[in-house]
Amino acid sequence: MVLGERLSEGYLLYVDIIDDTGPLSAGVFMAIHSVFGRSEWVYELLGIILVGTQIYYWNSTLIKFRVFDENTYLPAIIMAALFYFSFDLRQLSPTLLGSTFLILALGQLFSQTVLQKESNESTLLIGIYGGLATGFHLHFLFFLPYLIFSGLVISGFSFRQLFLTLIGFALPIISILLFYYWNDGLEQALQVWPIFFSYPSYSYQPMLSWLIPAIFPLLLAIVGYIFGGILRGSTINQQKQRQLILLLLFFSSTLFFLFKNQASYQLVIFIPGLTYLITHLFLHLNWGIIAKPAFYGLTLGLPFLGMNYWNSRTSQDSTYFVLEDSLHIIPKRKSILVMGNDPSPYLNISLGGPFLNYNMSKSYLNREKKLEEKAQIYYMIQKQAPELILDEEGQFNILLQELPILQKNYQETSPGLYEKK
């Protein structure tokens, strides 16, 4: 929301604002703010629409390509329940936006398991969807090896199909590069993008906080794999589809630990694979004393208990939930730059500087800088001229030593708080 507000004022991501949001997601947030302003319900509504789209498309894909022995809407019910595992899975986020296109790419991969002839259109779409997903969430770049490997080994891509997939993947990326070139920001963007994958990871929540409620659906998925993949026979196409899902879960698990900001909303990448495995459990297990309680526990118990569980963790996961505890010590101004991990000042004061993602910005500022890069940082701050700078860790004080010219513009009025002269 803060990023969309800042971009709508005419600033350019990676050039004027240091943040790790994907460029296409940033464009969506900018469009939302331009039309609706700071309206939280818009993010919730669009998130629910995307969730509904994913559920409808994934269930339709499983029916269309005969993934199960019978046509059923059970995957849609299970997938909807899994989205209630955590409140933020249904909020509009770069991960939710990007995962929507990953599901579209997965659907095209499934089509390759049943076609008896080469389909150039399908393989091109696999790449395009993968490239769009990367544009929304740049860490989804690591799904490219999944698309290539599964296409070659499982779907049997020819060289021409592989080439079309790579071309399709490159098209959205090239379009983004051209956008920055036209806006004289390509050089700066190319300097910032490598930091996406190199700055230290940070966790909004302890890993156990979401591993504990995840035990139940994970257990159902494991039992579902045993019933669907080991104890029962399947067609060659169904075997290929199961291999695609297992490979997807492997890459998702690897990617999750590559995410720099680890939180429960990133778990959305596991939902299609878990839906597939859990559906096998309820289709192949007789509806007796085990299946019925497990089904109602998943579809009714998981959403209810999940909602109460996260409400109880509001005070514990203080780095994730934005609280207003610190607002009383900050004077009211039009703009502020927070150089720290507490974003609460942005609740009532607009962002007034270039460093939105503090963890990424700290790596950007601490690297060895040439004179040209120092001048660039000075220009970024001077251009945006925040009225207040909240320096929680002394990072701005270090910057003042590197760029003494900034001392003419800002003075420390209280410990860690700088005001524009």
Phi and psi of 21, rounded to 5°? -70, 140
Check: CB of residue 256 under 8 Å from CB of residue 269.
Answer: yes
- 180 with 54, same domain: the answer is yes
Residue 321 lies inside a defined structural domain of this protein? no
Q: Tell me the residue type at 413.
A: T
Kindly provide the b/e burial profile for residues 242-252, where b requires at least 16 CB atoms within 10 angstroms of the residue's own CB: bbbbebbbebb
The most confident of 41-55, 285-299, 321-335, by mean pLDDT: 41-55
- 197 with 340, same domain: the answer is no
Q: Which residue has the tokens 């979401």?
A: 210
Least confident piece of the model among 58-67, 114-123, 172-181, 250-259: 114-123
pLDDT band at 316 (very low <50, low <70, confident <90, very high): confident
Given a cut of 70, whether residue 320 has pLDDT beyond it is yes
* Cβ atoms within 10 Å of 48's Cβ, excluding its own: 14
Q: How far apart are CA 39 and CA 268, in angstroms?
A: 23
pLDDT band at 326 (very low <50, low <70, confident <90, very high): low
Q: Which residue has the tokens 């997903």?
A: 133
Least confident piece of the model among 126-140, 234-248, 319-333, 397-411: 319-333
Q: Tell me the residue type at 269.
A: I
Residue 299 lies inside a defined structural domain of this protein? yes
Q: Which pLDDT value is given to residue 56?
A: 97
Q: Which pLDDT value is given to residue 135?
A: 96
Count of domains for the chain = 2
Domain boundary among 312, 335, 370: 312
Mean confidence (pLDDT) of the chain: 88
Check: CB of residue 298 under 8 Å from CB of residue 194.
Answer: no
- 87 with 223, same domain: the answer is yes
Domain boundary among 288, 312, 336: 312
- 71 with 123, same domain: the answer is yes
Whole-prediction pTM value? 0.91
Residue 297 DSSP label = I
Q: How far apart are CA 332 and CA 310, in angstroms?
A: 32
Q: Which pLDDT value is given to residue 325?
A: 59
Q: Which domain holds residue 137?
A: 2-312
Q: Which pLDDT value is given to residue 263?
A: 84
Q: How far apart are CA 378 and CA 409, in angstroms?
A: 11
pLDDT band at 116 (very low <50, low <70, confident <90, very high): low
- 349 with 295, same domain: the answer is no
Domain boundary among 282, 312, 342: 312
- 150 with 270, same domain: the answer is yes
Residue 322 lies inside a defined structural domain of this protein? no
pLDDT band at 76 (very low <50, low <70, confident <90, very high): very high
Q: How far apart are CA 133 and CA 108, in angstroms?
A: 14
Q: How far apart are CA 39 and CA 49, in angstroms?
A: 16
Helix (H) or strand (E) holding 202: strand 202-203
Each residue's pLDDT tens digit, 6-20: 999 999 999 999 999
- 301 with 368, same domain: the answer is no
Tokens for 46?
A: 């669009």
- 368 with 279, same domain: the answer is no
C-alpha 196 chain-centroid distance: 13
Q: Is the dihedral of CA 258, 264, 270, 272 positive or negative?
A: negative
Residue 318 lies inside a defined structural domain of this protein? no
Return all residues near 381 (Cβ < 8 A) that are at least 6 apart. 353, 354, 406
- 270 with 333, same domain: the answer is no
Q: Which pLDDT value is given to residue 294?
A: 87
Helix (H) or strand (E) holding 223: helix 207-225
* Cβ atoms within 10 Å of 329's Cβ, excluding its own: 11
Q: What dihedral angle (degrees, nearest 10) is formed by the CA atoms of 117, 133, 204, 191?
A: 130
- 333 with 211, same domain: the answer is no
Residue 320 lies inside a defined structural domain of this protein? no
Q: Which residue has the tokens 């067609």?
A: 235
Tokens for 80?
A: 């909807």
Q: Which pLDDT value is given to residue 311?
A: 77
- 207 with 239, same domain: the answer is yes
- Give the mean pLDDT of 261-265: 85
Q: Which pLDDT value is given to residue 152?
A: 87
Residue 239 lies inside a defined structural domain of this protein? yes
Rg (CA), the chain: 24
Of 67 and 205, the one with more pLDDT? 67
Tokens for 166?
A: 């790579």
Each residue's pLDDT tens digit, 340-398: 888 888 988 899 989 999 999 999 988 888 888 888 889 999 889 899 999 988 899 99
- 128 with 171, same domain: the answer is yes
- Give the mean pLDDT of 177-192: 93
Q: Which pLDDT value is given to residue 140?
A: 95
- Give the mean pLDDT of 203-232: 83
Given a cut of 70, whether residue 117 has pLDDT beyond it is no
User: Residue 277's closest CA among 215, 212, 238, 223?
Assistant: 223
* Cβ atoms within 10 Å of 96's Cβ, excluding its own: 25
